[in-house]
Amino acid sequence: MNLTYVLLALGLFLLEEAAAVCCPALPICGDGQMVVGAYCGVGGCNVFGCNCSGGCRKKSD
């Protein structure tokens, strides 16, 4: 039981804050194009629409 608490404390100590960027699931993305797949990511995204390769599709300047 003590080992469980030690491992839990160690895990909490070693965890880093994760800042996941999630792309929207809209019919039209920020760049004005229709969504391809489920999310407006430049590349593939995880199942939640976050951590997309290349970030989210945006309006070009």
Interval 22-31: pLDDT, tens: 999 999 999 9
| CATH number assigned to the domain comprising residue 35 | 3.30.70.2800
Nearest CA-CA partner of 20 in 59, 40, 49? 49
Q: Is the pLDDT of residue 55 over 80?
A: yes
Q: Which domain holds residue 61?
A: 18-61
Domain-embedded: residue 1:
no
pTM score over 0.85? no
Domain-embedded: residue 24:
yes
Domain-embedded: residue 59:
yes
Q: Is the pLDDT of residue 61 over 70?
A: no
**Structural tokens at position 54:** 């290349």
Distance CA 2, CA 12 (A): 15
Count structural domains, the chain: 1
Task: Give the distance, in angstroms, between the CA of residue 25 and the centroid of all CA atoms in the same chain.
Answer: 13
Q: Is the pLDDT of residue 33 over 90?
A: yes
